[in-house]
Chain A
Amino acid sequence: MTNTPGADLHLPEGCMAGIAMHEMSLCESILQVLEQQAETQQYSKVKTVWLEIGALAGVETEALRFSFDVVVQGSIADHAQLEIIEVPGQAWCMPCSRNVVVQQLYDLCPHCGSHQLQVNSGDQMRIKELEVE
């Protein structure tokens, strides 16, 4: 998802002036979780955040990194490192009766070409682990 120079920048429609509002609001949700966990888990500073993002979650990881740095400024996660674990998409193919790997929600089954696919993994957005102080 890196943008090569001269190539089109893929910003989701509905985002203002190049700011990916979608990723921005996801980062606000991440920060809320970090702040809420700070009390129960007894920490005052977050150093690293491991996120698991599915390939089908509709998240631009570059935009997410950018937004994260902005959103956490001045918070308990100021300057925290964001580690993104990308999880491949998986769907159940009805004609083949088995799980297949998919890159996009509109992919056809790589074995039989059917679009009777039921996504069962790869649309998650989860905070897995934190390194805290």
Chain B
Amino acid sequence: MCGVCGCGEGHSHSHDHDHEHDHEHSHDHDHHHEHDAAHSHAPGLSQFRMVQIEQDILAKNNRYAAENRGYFGERGILALNLVSSPGSGKTTLLTETIALLKNDLDIAVIEGDQQTARDAERIRATGVPALQINTGKGCHLDAHRVGHALETLQPKDRSLLFIENVGNLVCPSSFDLGEAHKVVILSVTEGEDKPIKYPDMFHAADLMILNKTDLLPYLDFDTEQCIHYAKQVNPHIKILPLSAKTGEGMDSWLRWLKAELELQRIDYA
């Protein structure tokens, strides 16, 4: 799995590759000298040259993501990357969805949070396997850590894999995990303007779940306007309003999941 980073194949622990860059670094140069354009070194002492590299900053993450995508494709696994602000109801949506689907399908969950294993425990309580990744200070999951999580979790062929990302509407949009779709969850308590305030995430997602619709009677939330904003950022986004709490609208979500899973299984030999 980890041919790219060379961290060794087949190990089943999720380790951290952030090496400390503490190699011997001799500070014999003057740290106060100016690095302005006019600055030139004595001839012969240094040979500055230009190197053309044309590398995408996220190239490394994208390589891991491509490996993960290959892994899912070979096994007919539908992987979904669930993204949202903290507290929009991702874990609740998952536990409710699992309760409704676990007799029909194999389901597994990767949980990303900065701290604690609470969400993974909530998932395991439903009877499906879950693996917690704690990102510490990191505010998003990356494809490398997800790849290692797969080695441990070993989701079944033709199964449904949910990846609950760290609650954050910003960076998870840039980090492809190899998923089939990003699903953005927005709860009605967050305000209808979130899609234009955090356009990157709504642009990157294929489906938006508008959660906690049971609270609409108590709020000024303008559903029409919210849908309009989301479509403005991403004309192709599909939108499903539902309440994970009361179950209203859950049937459309389940139909979407089953249809996507069928599509993913078509390729599966």
A residues apposed to B, CB below 8 Å: 12-16, 21-22, 25-26, 28-33, 37, 41, 43, 47, 51, 57-58, 74-75, 78-81, 104-106, 108, 115-119, 124-133
User: Given the interface contacts A14-B168, A25-B138, does A115 sit within 8 Å of B232 by beta carbon?
Assistant: yes
Chain A residues near B212: list those with CB within 8 A: none
| Contacts A/B (CB < 8 Å), 13 sampled | A14-B86, A14-B167, A28-B18, A79-B31, A81-B35, A104-B199, A106-B229, A115-B231, A128-B54, A129-B52, A130-B51, A131-B48, A132-B48
State the CA gap A14–B112 with chains docked (Å): 14
Shortest distance between the CB of A33 and any CB in chain B (Å): 5
Chain B residues near A133: list those with CB within 8 A: 46-49
State the CA gap A47–B159 with chains docked (Å): 49
Contact between B48 and A47, CB atoms less than 8 A apart: yes
Shortest distance between the CB of B60 and any CB in chain A (Å): 6
State the CA gap A47–B46 with chains docked (Å): 11
Out of B25, B58, B168, B198, name the residue touching A29 (CB < 8 Å). Answer: B58
Chain B residues near A81: list those with CB within 8 A: 35
Shortest distance between the CB of A68 and any CB in chain B (Å): 11
Please name the residue on chain B nearest to A36 by beta carbon.
Answer: B60
Chain B residues near A127: list those with CB within 8 A: 53-57
Chain A residues near B97: list those with CB within 8 A: none
Category for how many chain B residues contact A: 35 or more
Chain B residues near A15: list those with CB within 8 A: 139, 170
Chain B residues near A51: list those with CB within 8 A: 57
Shortest distance between the CB of B199 and any CB in chain A (Å): 4
Chain A residues near B148: list those with CB within 8 A: none
Contact between B232 and A13, CB atoms less than 8 A apart: no
User: Given the interface contacts A14-B170, A22-B139, A30-B57, does A105 sit within 8 Å of B203 by beta carbon?
Assistant: yes
Shortest distance between the CB of B173 and any CB in chain A (Å): 7
Which secondary structure dominates chain A's binding surface?
A: mixed
State the CA gap A47–B47 with chains docked (Å): 11
Chain B residues near A118: list those with CB within 8 A: 235
User: Given the interface contacts A125-B58, A127-B53, A127-B54, does A13 sit within 8 Å of B48 by beta carbon?
Assistant: no
State the CA gap A22–B58 with chains docked (Å): 12
Task: List 11 additional contacts besides A41-B53, A132-B50; criterion CB under 8 Å.
Answer: A12-B170, A12-B171, A21-B138, A30-B57, A43-B51, A51-B57, A57-B174, A106-B229, A129-B51, A130-B53, A131-B48
Shortest distance between the CB of A53 and any CB in chain B (Å): 9
Interface residues of B in 226-247 (CB under 8 A from A): 229, 231-235
Out of A14, A33, A119, name the residue touching B139 (CB < 8 Å). Answer: A14
Please name the residue on chain A nearest to B61 by beta carbon.
Answer: A29
